[in-house]
Amino acid sequence: MITFYWYPKCSTCKKAKQWLDDNKVDYNQIDMIETPPTKEELQQWWKNSGLGIRRFFNTSGIKYRELGLKDKVDQMTEDEAFTLLATDGKLIKRPIVTNGEKVTLGFKESEFVENWK
C-alpha cells in the first residue's frame, strides 16, 4: 500500500490523485497540512530517494519566500532542514507518494508510471 500526502487545494496534488484513481492504485490519503510528515519520515524518504534536501522544499510556496529559505537551505544541516519541514506541511514539496522504500515528489506522469503503476 502506498501513502499519498497531499494538500486538497493544490492543483498538482489533484492531478496526482486523479492519476492514482484512474489507474486504480490503492493508497492511504493524508492531508499534509493537517498532518505533516514527521522529521524522521522525511529523513528516511530523503535517504531512500537519493534526492537533494532542497527538492523536499516547496520552493514556489509563500512560506518558503517569507522565511527567505532560498539563501538558507544550503547552509542548513540535515537535522535543521528536516526539523523545519516537519513543522509546516506548506513548506514541503507536494504531493509526496511513498511505499516506505520508494518516494516521488510532485507529479510527473512518467515518474508515476515508473513507480506506482
At 15, list the grid cell.
Answer: 492531478
**Per-residue pLDDT at 6:** 97
Burial 8-36 (b: 16+ CB within 10 A, else e): eebeebeebbebbeeeeeebeebebbeeb
Q: What is the pLDDT of residue 13?
A: 97
| pLDDT confidence bin for 44, thresholds 50/70/90 | very high
The per-residue pLDDT for range 57-87, each reduced to its tens digit, is 999 999 999 999 999 999 999 999 999 999 9
- Would you state the pLDDT for residue 70? 92
- CATH number for 45: 3.40.30.10
Quote the number of domains for the chain.
1
Range of the domain at 74: 2-116
Report field, pTM of the whole predicted structure over 0.85: yes
